[in-house]
């Protein structure tokens, strides 16, 4: 007999259309290794990338781009990377948090736990990874280093993205 989680995963969509937003004052499409890694990992799983953008680490710009992506009917999930630290210029966390209808606190908690145990030790307390929903759009915001992106994508986002979408669309 299947557990409810296993049943939900079996009922999950096999493809999700995603937008990738890299938050950076210096990266370009040619130097955005983390954005490219997100794309590669999504496409390897069979997901599609319908939007890609780089935005400066400025609250209003991030907020506007996130809202636009979430309102696009061709985007089911938005994945942001960068700007999640505690430096004065880091505003991604606030821009995402202020747009969420529902937060998934487990994402940030598990990301920091995995970062602590598998990667960077106590420096994990500096991470402000966050996830949630805007309407029926899933939103995941992770640090911008390629190591952090790989960890978030392979251990948390990709294993659960279909399940998250199943939950968002089950009442539709």
Model confidence pLDDT, tens digit, residues 125-142 = 889 999 999 999 999 999
- Does 3 reside within a domain? no
> Which pLDDT tens digit goes with each residue over 107-116?
999 999 999 9
Kindly report the pTM of this predicted structure.
Answer: 0.94
Quick check: is 8 in a domain?
Answer: no
Those residues whose C-beta lies under 8 Å from the C-beta of residue 144, and which sit 6 or more positions away, are: 22, 23, 24, 34, 81, 82, 83, 84
CATH number of the domain residue 33 falls in? 3.40.980.10
On whether residue 122 sits in a domain, the answer given is yes
pLDDT per residue over 23-49, tens digit each? 999 999 999 999 999 999 999 999 999
For the chain, what percent of residues have pLDDT higher than 70?
94
How far CA 168 is from CA of 3, 34, 90, 104, 106, in Å, comes to: 19, 27, 29, 12, 16
Q: How many folded domains does the chain comprise?
A: 1
Question: Given the structure tokens 């915001």, which residue do they identify?
Answer: 141
- Mean per-residue pLDDT for 49-68? 97
> Residue range 95-100: average pLDDT?
97
> Residue 95 pLDDT > 80, yes or no?
yes
The confidence band for 9, taking pLDDT boundaries of 50, 70 and 90, is: low
Using pLDDT thresholds of 50, 70 and 90, give the confidence band for residue 63.
very high
Residue 135 within a domain = yes
Range of the domain at 137: 15-169
Check whether 163 has a pLDDT greater than 70.
yes
């Amino acid at each position: 007999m299947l557990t409810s989680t296993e049943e939900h995963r079996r009922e999950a969509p096999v493809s999700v259309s995603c937008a990738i937003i890299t938050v950076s004052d210096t990266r370009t499409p040619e130097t955005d290794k983390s954005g490219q890694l997100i794309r590669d990992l999504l496409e390897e799983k069979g997901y599609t990338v319908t939007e890609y953008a780089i935005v400066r680490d400025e609250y209003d710009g991030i907020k506007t781009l996130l809202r636009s992506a979430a309102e696009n009917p061709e985007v089911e999930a938005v994945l942001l990377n960068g700007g999640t630290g505690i430096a004065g210029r880091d505003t991604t966390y606030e821009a995402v948090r202020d747009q969420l209808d529902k937060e998934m606190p487990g994402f940030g908690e598990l990301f920091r736990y995995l970062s602590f145990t598998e990667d960077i030790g106590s420096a994990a307390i500096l991470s402000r990874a966050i996830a949630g929903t805007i309407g029926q759009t899933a939103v995941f915001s992770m640090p911008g280093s390629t190591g952090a992106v790989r960890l978030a994508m392979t251990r948390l986002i990709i294993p659960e993205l279909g399940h998250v979408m199943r939950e968002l669309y089950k009442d539709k």
